[in-house]
Structure 1
Amino acid sequence: MTTTDTPRAQADRTYPSYAKALWQRVLLTREFAVIALLLIVFFYSRSEIPNFDGPLTIYYLLLDVAPILLIALPMTLVIITGEIDLSVASVVGLSSVLVGDLHQGGMSIPMAALVAILVGVLCGAFNGFLVAYVGLPSLAVTIGTLALYRGLAVGLLGTTAITDFPEKWTDLAKDRIGDSSYPVIVIPILVLVILFVLLLHFTPFGRGVFDIGLNDEAAHFSGVNVARTKFWLFVMAGAVSAFAGIYFTLRFGSSRGDNATGMELQVIAAVLLGGVSIFGGRGALHGVLAGVLLIGVLQSALRLDDVSANVINIIIGILLIASVMSTSFLTFVARTTAGMKRRASDGSPERRQRQASAHHEGNNS
């Protein structure tokens, strides 16, 4: 008996994103749209706003967005799991107060910074424990700890400010890399960006983060330790926020309990604008980096164009709402388009002929 081998038809990929060509998967994404919008705004600002040009503006732009960019890295992972952390700006303020208070008490800046980071870790661990192991909603928990940590910061220092920091440390926070227009803070930012990119996109831990955001119950049964993953993400957010608070303090040379008030909204707006879904399960860090820079460029350009702070806040709020709505809108458009294609396919002459043939054969049998 002779058998002939027939070539197996290549199976179609099951994920819709891989059903498109490579250039479509790269260019037709929210992340690329944000990058393109960033480039448009940046070059338009350089051409239309006289003061928005040269290395000096880029230098101050990076100094301004550095704390937002730092906090946005762990916040991206937290939001991808479907959670949120609104207490990050309060941790910035608390670490700022600790650095100033401990240094005023005779402790060196490095030791005070280390204590502040450890306190940030404890703040993140407290958030993570309540969310991951107690099972409380992260929105309610971090609203509460936002007030708690800010209250501790104001309670420790009151309404006064500590400004007597050594010049070598305040100068270091504002120093440049050689003769370039890039501040020194870019170095730790690049290190953290590389670490978080590797963690999110190239490790089983990162795949578990996406799985939790898509369906935490399914992720649990597939072997992902959901509680432990969420706990460590909040710990990371607390530690990085404390580091951002140290930089914030040294950059402005001032330790106050109300430092970085409202920064959490800018961080969340940048993350969502960068393509991360507020519902979890979707996002990429390159889009978040572009989102942070886009908000920074907009703020700098509008300030140089004599736009008031209230108007700038209104624009950022509109961007936040638009970024949240875009996910649902794009999902609706995709479902509507798929439904129209399905109905068109069902009504095609070939489909009707196949259905008629099948019905005729069924009657004959």
Structure 2
Amino acid sequence: MTTLLRTREFWLAIIVAAMILATNLRAPGFASLGNLAGIFNDTAMLIILALGQMAVILTRSIDLSMASNLALTGMIVALINAAYPGIPIPALMLFAVICGLLLGAFNGLLIWLLDIPAIVVTLGTLTIYRGMIFLIAGGQWVNADAMSPAFVQYTRIEVLGLPLLSWYAIVVAVGFFLLMTRTSLGRAIYAIGVNPTASVYAGINVGRTKFSAFLISGAVSGFCGYLWVSRYVIGSVEVAKGYELTIVAACVIGGISIAGGVGTVAGAILGALFLGVINVALPVINVSPFWQMAISGAAIILAVVVNARGEKRGNRLILRQTEVPS
């Protein structure tokens, strides 16, 4: 019990629950099971994307192109569906994952082989992928009229009271938990985040591990490309514009250290849920949109401060580089 009380995830879960209960006092029914299921469904894509970003941040990198990857793959599958509505939806979803994987591989190869900082590479591909959307669509939008009913309704099918979109988030979360805690790749991702120098001596290929992390973030971005277009029934160059900052914010609030090596799947999920609850709760209690932005920003800054203090107390750095005197 004492160990549980010391975990960041426990206190973040308490904060999320407290926000729900406090909002319920002002708006009775907010804490009902139906409304909470709706909030989870609205946050499902952010949860999936935050988990993909977590894998990258743990390696001391960052992927700023996830939202652009999402928008590009979403536009591609929307155009394919408009031209060939008979293609099965699972096949389109698989194609979206492959497209996202290839875009993530492009990022990873530039970082691995050319040793370019991840923030520089993904900042560039963020713009490149948006430009590709404009080129392949000719500046046009793909609206609901051009999409098949099956394409739009697939994620809305309910199973055991929850839409498929929510179940996708649950399955992806379980998959990431197993990946990060039960596989050699997950252990390698944490290791190079804690100390890449020591990881080399342990036989871990740092470049290949980072490349694998970008493959993961690209694949989940492509998967969410279909989910986004299906849910919001729109494909355009403006889809998810600026959403990459929300993804990073969810990770930081969830305790994923921007210095790498520290963070959990539960933390990323709770960080996404924290933002999801805020986005729904603040308008319900008539908080100004300007204050909503300020509160979200303050939460991010507070999370970074807490992360930094926790890392200093926990002796996170296991191999300190020292200058050898001449």
TM-score normalised over the length of structure 2: 0.89
**How is 1:1-365 mapped onto 2 (pairs within 5 angstroms)?**
23-50=1-28, 52-106=30-84, 108=87, 109-157=89-137, 158-163=139-144, 164-178=146-160, 180=161, 182-331=162-311
Letter in 2 for 1:244: C
Aligned mates of 1:117, 1:261 — CA distance in 2: 20
Look up the SS of the partner of 2:163 in the other structure: coil
- Which residue is 1:348 aligned to? none
Q: Tell whether the 8 Å contact from 1:199 to 1:206 is kept in structure 2 after alignment.
A: yes
- Unmatched tracts of structure 2, length 5 or more: 316-326
Structure 1 stretches of 4+ moved >4 Å: 331-335
The Cα shift of 1:271 comes to 0.9
Q: Tell whether the 8 Å contact from 1:266 to 1:316 is kept in structure 2 after alignment.
A: no
Taking structure 1 as reference, are residues 198 and 332 closer, same or farther at Cα in structure 2, changes over 3 Å only?
closer
Q: Tell whether the 8 Å contact from 2:21 to 2:31 is kept in structure 1 after alignment.
A: no
Aligned mates of 1:83, 1:165 — CA distance in 2: 37
Taking structure 1 as reference, are residues 198 and 36 closer, same or farther at Cα in structure 2, changes over 3 Å only?
same
Aligned mates of 1:143, 1:58 — CA distance in 2: 35
- Unmatched tracts of structure 1, length 5 or more: 1-22, 336-365
The Cα shift of 1:52 comes to 2.1
Aligned mates of 2:74, 2:291 — CA distance in 1: 28
Aligned mates of 1:332, 1:188 — CA distance in 2: 36
Aligned mates of 1:205, 1:114 — CA distance in 2: 23
The Cα shift of 1:273 comes to 0.8
The Cα shift of 1:156 comes to 2.3
Look up the SS of the partner of 1:280 in the other structure: coil
Taking structure 1 as reference, are residues 332 and 121 closer, same or farther at Cα in structure 2, changes over 3 Å only?
closer
- Which stretch has the larger CA shift, 217-226 or 298-307? 298-307
The Cα shift of 1:148 comes to 0.9
Aligned mates of 2:108, 2:98 — CA distance in 1: 15
Letter in 2 for 1:83: S
Q: Tell whether the 8 Å contact from 1:89 to 1:262 is kept in structure 2 after alignment.
A: yes
Aligned mates of 2:31, 2:7 — CA distance in 1: 29
Q: Tell whether the 8 Å contact from 2:64 to 2:122 is kept in structure 1 after alignment.
A: yes
Taking structure 1 as reference, are residues 307 and 95 closer, same or farther at Cα in structure 2, changes over 3 Å only?
farther
Q: Deviations over 1:132-164 (max 9, x none)?
A: 222111111111111111121133221433323
Q: Deviations over 1:146-197 (max 9, x none)?
A: 111112113322143332322233223123224x2x2222222222211111
Aligned mates of 2:42, 2:112 — CA distance in 1: 33
Aligned mates of 1:113, 1:197 — CA distance in 2: 22
Greater RCO, 1 or 2 (C-alpha within 8 Å, sep 6+): 2
Q: Tell whether the 8 Å contact from 1:32 to 1:287 is kept in structure 2 after alignment.
A: no
Larger radius of gyration: 1
Aligned mates of 2:312, 2:194 — CA distance in 1: 18
Aligned mates of 2:312, 2:97 — CA distance in 1: 43
Number of positions where the alignment pairs a residue of Structure 1 with one of Structure 2: 311
Q: Deviations over 1:203-225 (max 9, x none)?
A: 22222111100111210110112
Aligned mates of 1:127, 1:193 — CA distance in 2: 24
